[in-house]
Amino acid sequence: MTPSRLQVRISRDAKSAVLAMGQAAFFAKTGLVLRRVRPTGEVKRNSIGEATWEIERPRLLHVEVQDLKGRVLDPSFTVIAEDIPVVLLLSPLPEEVAVRVFIQDGELRAQPSDA
């Protein structure tokens, strides 16, 4: 599946926030960039040398507001959602059909969702 086959849904609150951020930053072409966040891990050793891993997966996707003016937008990696261009810098997992962009705790977030 190419990234552009993902359906991207942007909530009304998120759309307003994205446009406001772009206007405040004087962006000529406000858009979103989505990328996958990799898990981070840390290994610790106890007193007898045994290793234990602590793995943190804070969010599956990271969303960022950027000025897309002058960027060549490859249609295989770009969708338009709510009149906002969304660049998908990720390879969708087989079970991922859609992505939802929303506001939670005052932050712009993205997560996979059902179609």
Say what the pLDDT of residue 4 is: 66
Say what the pLDDT of residue 45 is: 87
DSSP 8-state secondary structure symbol assigned to residue 11: -
Reading the chain (115 residues) residue by residue, the pLDDT tens digits are: 567 678 999 999 999 999 999 999 999 999 999 988 777 888 888 888 888 888 876 557 889 999 999 998 888 889 999 999 999 887 776 677 889 999 999 999 998 887 5
Say what the pLDDT of residue 47 is: 87
Rounded alpha-carbon distances, angstroms, from residue 29 to 5, 60, 101:
22, 26, 18
What pTM was computed for the model? 0.78
CB contact set of 36 (below 8 Å; sequence gap of 6+): 60, 61, 62, 89, 90, 91
- Tokens 């007193």 identify what position? 47
Rounded Cα distance, 61 and 100, in Å: 10
Q: Which domains does the chain have, with CATH numbers?
A: 3-113 (2.60.300)
Say what the pLDDT of residue 94 is: 67
- Tokens 């930053």 identify what position? 25
Say what the pLDDT of residue 59 is: 57
Could you count the other beta carbons within 10 Å of the beta carbon of residue 64?
A: 14
